[in-house]
Amino acid sequence: MIRIGNASGFYGDRFSAMREMLTGGPLDVLTGDYLAELTMLILGRDRLKDPGRGYAKTFLRQLEDNLGLAKDKGVTIVTNAGGLNPAGLADALRELADRLGLDVRVAHVEGDDLLPRAGELDLGEPLTANAYLGAWGIADCLKAGADVVVTGRVTDASVIVGPAAAHFGWARDDYDALAGAVAAGHVIECGAQATGGNYAFFTEHSFGVPGFPIAEIHADGSSVITKHDGTGGVVSTGTVTAQLLYEIAGPRYAGPDVTARFDTLRLDDDGPDRVRISGVRGEAPPPTLKVCLNRLGGFRNEVTFVLTGLDIEAKAALVREQLEAGLGQRPPREVRWTLGRTDHTDADTQEAASALLHCAVKDPDPTIAGRAFSGAAIELALASYPGFHVTAPPSDASPYGVYTEAYVDAARVPHVAVLPDGTRVDIAKAGRTLALSAVDEPELPEPLPDGPVRRAPLGLVAGARSGDKGGNANVGVWVRSEAAWRWLAHTLTVTELKRLLPETSGLEVRRFVFGNLRALNFVVEGLLGEGVAAQARFDPQAKALGEWLRGRHVDIPEELW
């Protein structure tokens, strides 16, 4: 097998994780995922200020302390921290190695950056335009003896799939093995979310700060998800199920190298903090590559009014009327109000007696979203509702980004491995492709017979994990017994989800069934507007959407208690 650990799930994750993983136990490869849709926008703005930047500077600082340790332990490092400038990061790593007196072979993968060809590819005029490349460039770098491989925008799982493919010598059409590695990669690429972080049933465990995950991948693509002995957190079929459902859509999980069928995989306990993933089937990849596009959308600002005590609705109506009048003949292009009724009757603290009225504005003109809005809000301080105050004064307008996705013919996207000796290798396109198609919904289990029920939160029997994909949100819901699955599969329909989560009622919602995981996945189209960078709602990445759902009350059969 090959032991692949992960030390970063996002740009800003635990800085010490790299050393913890290198010193905590045996590893062959250490990976790090630093990129997300929002991160690409951040790096794009960095590149505007300095064309030599555009990569994750945190990774370089981590290696100042850990590059020699990794070399001593024989651990290869593979990461997408190259962002928009993998060649620049590779050069910086060589300079670092020279300064530290280390003989380290550095390679990188490029070709994903399509910004110079945006017009040719009908991608508009974005700030960033990056195709999701696959694992084969990484594999070629490793086979050429690289100690460190940095990439730009590859799929999150590719930093795991590439080392496995190189280690076992998989062919391009070893779809089942590749799909198994994709499943393992999808589980560990978000770091501690696989080891108990953000876990619905966290109260059942006492685990402190979770350690980071490891995938022990075997030649057939099966794997065991685990962590270093003695580290915090927990690895269970529940934590692995939660992460498998994270930010996906249907059973076909498409990538540039293989489409993995998540409806075929099986999870089994393999001992304490060990979960085996097996049986994953793979299909040829689709003929197109997904492209992440970011553009600057304009400028935004916000203020939160605190409404305390009596007449909350009337106070909200008054300040809204006053502020909108104060914005004059040229109000911001978008003005969005939300009232959070966090207040309690007869509260014993002032905070518990208060509600929060949030106003967010967007406009192409920074003056309209900035000084004009801020002034209109603060001028009301002595002229509005009783008890007027705000959580913080509004500031100058800040730029916001808009994420969209596009798809281009894979044959039009270069994929280049730049080996440690500088040799450039063009990575061949997939020899066979298969257009994505919907999976027929499987036959549902027999429903539970009618019996007594109790009104209680859904989360007493069901776990959930939710997240974002551009403007869409997904929420995966799973249960832990066959009886609960027989109930959930027939109870939590699209109609019921919309009833429980009224914010979704006017949107298209799709449901996917994963009987092998006793799980349902819902994709809510457009809930997040123009994506996380545009801050369209209270929870802009839908991270707590699943917890809201678990908190809603439903009629639960008594036999499930």
Q: Cβ neighbours of residue 162 under 8 Å, at least 6 residues apart? A: 78, 135, 136, 137, 138, 139, 141, 142, 149
Per-residue pLDDT, 207: 80
Per-residue pLDDT, 434: 97
Which range is least confidently modeled, 33-47, 169-183, 336-350?
33-47
Q: SS3 letters for 180-233?
A: HHHHHHHHHCCHHHHCCCCCCCHHHCCCCCECCEEEEECCCCCEEEEECCCCEC
3-state secondary structure of 417: strand
483 confidence band (pLDDT: 50, 70, 90): very high
CA-wise closest residue to 418 among 175, 192, 138, 213: 138
CA-wise closest residue to 426 among 407, 413, 441: 413
Phi-psi region of 279 (alpha: psi -120 to 50; beta: other; left: phi over 0): left
CA neighbours within 13 Å on the CB side: how many for 403?
28
Phi-psi region of 20 (alpha: psi -120 to 50; beta: other; left: phi over 0): alpha
CA angle 262, 264, 266 (to 5 degrees): 95
pLDDT digits (tens, 9 = 90+) for 80-89: 999 999 999 9
Q: Name the residue type at position 447.
A: P
Q: In the chain, pLDDT over 90 holds for what percent of residues?
A: 95
Would you call 411 exposed, middle or buried from its count of C-beta atoms within 10 A (0-12, 13-18, 19+)? exposed
- Show the DSSP H helices in 83-190 as ranges: 86-100, 136-143, 158-168, 175-188
Dihedral (CA of 539, 543, 547, 552) sign: positive
Indicate the pTM of the whole model: 0.95
Is the pLDDT at 432 greater than 80? The verdict is: yes
Is the pLDDT at 502 greater than 90? The verdict is: yes
In Å, how far are 13, 300, 340, 461 from 310, measured between CA atoms? 42, 31, 15, 37
CB 119 within 8 A of CB 393: no
Is the pLDDT at 530 greater than 80? The verdict is: yes
Per-residue pLDDT, 331: 97
342 confidence band (pLDDT: 50, 70, 90): very high
Give the Cα separation of 340 and 344 in Å (integer): 12
The whole-number average pLDDT for the span 258-271 is 98
More confident residue, 441 or 218: 218
**Residue 244 φ/ψ, nearest 5 degrees:** -60, -30
* Average pLDDT of the chain, as a whole number: 96
What domains lie within the chain, and their CATH numbers? Answer: 2-286 (no CATH), 299-401 (3.30.70), 453-560 (no CATH)
In Å, how far are 21, 88, 96, 98, 141 from 103, measured between CA atoms? 22, 19, 11, 8, 16
